[in-house]
Structure 1
């Protein structure tokens, strides 16, 4: 079954419904800190949680954030205790991301709370929060899309895309949940 293509008119994009959560000065300061310090290999990992907290993130104890981790807006991020975030992970927090305790977000993983309405000619936002419940694992180069909850102890396998909720204890791979 085919459907008619939507004619895009991106010049009409309004961004309706998306609130960055802080003013332009705070956004600019975060981008400066992110790109000049936070992502660098030489910036001490033990300081990354403190920097996120300084920008409004709620971060638990014993959190390890490796270098080259990007966080869009830290004030929309909550991280529990004993969490690992691997190199090159990208947390796109257009909406809140909540990471429970004992969660691993592996190297190159992407948590993306943003999207667009595919049938909207002006491509308006279609964003939604992400929740990783305690003990979840988002493996290397996996992607969790907007509105998804990864259940307690569930795994999003390497290179997989979670576009729907992953039940507790399930293993989601490129072929689907097992």
Structure 2
């Protein structure tokens, strides 16, 4: 099968807001939201203004990229580390007391490699309460990271990670103790 990239369309993909809202978000994200001088409280306020559902005590560092705030929910007292990228073409739900570490990526979008037109194959991501997505770990479309699970540094999580499980960079999985 030959790849036919000009045949690619956005069929079936809903960005969730009109062009003007998208453009305004990109302007705000790239000039204020990601800047080192923007206070964390203002980042949370900006996300809420663009439709994100954000709990209390959420801390978001600078250089964080979020594609569509209106497709994001974060529970109470969660942290998003410097340089994290939430590529949320579909909804991303982050629970309470979750840590998304530096340069981690949550990617809800992909392409169907079996289709000549390379159509989207997107799916939401859920990160449950108490989970930790460590530095430079990647969570892919359709995955649920279970309660108190750990996606270890550099890990690529392509299938559900059960609660109280650690996935390492080599794909190995082992149980972890529940935090006290």
Shorter-chain TM range is over 0.9
In structure 1, the residue matched to 2:129 is 134
* Number of aligned residues: 173
In structure 2, the residue matched to 1:3 is none
TM-score by length of 2: 0.95
Larger CA deviation: 11-20 vs 100-109: 11-20
Equivalents in 1 of 2:128, 2:32: separation in Å? 29
In structure 1, the residue matched to 2:20 is 25
In structure 2, the residue matched to 1:59 is 54
TM-score by length of 1: 0.96
For structure 1, the 5+ residue unaligned runs are 1-5
Equivalents in 2 of 1:41, 1:174: separation in Å? 30
Equivalents in 1 of 2:33, 2:169: separation in Å? 32
User: Runs in 1 of length 4+ with deviation above 3 angstroms?
Assistant: none
Please give the residue correspondences for 1:37-56 in structure 2 after superposition, counting only pairs within 5 Å: 37-56=32-51
Equivalents in 2 of 1:59, 1:19: separation in Å? 22
Query: Does 1:177 pair with 2:173?
Result: yes
Spell out, residue by residue over 1:117-153, the C-alpha distance to the aligned partner (whole angstroms, 9 max, x if none). Answer: 0111110000000000000000000000000000000
- Per the TM alignment, residue 15 of structure 1 is displaced from its structure 2 partner at its CA by 1.7
Aligned Cα RMSD in Å? Answer: 0.6
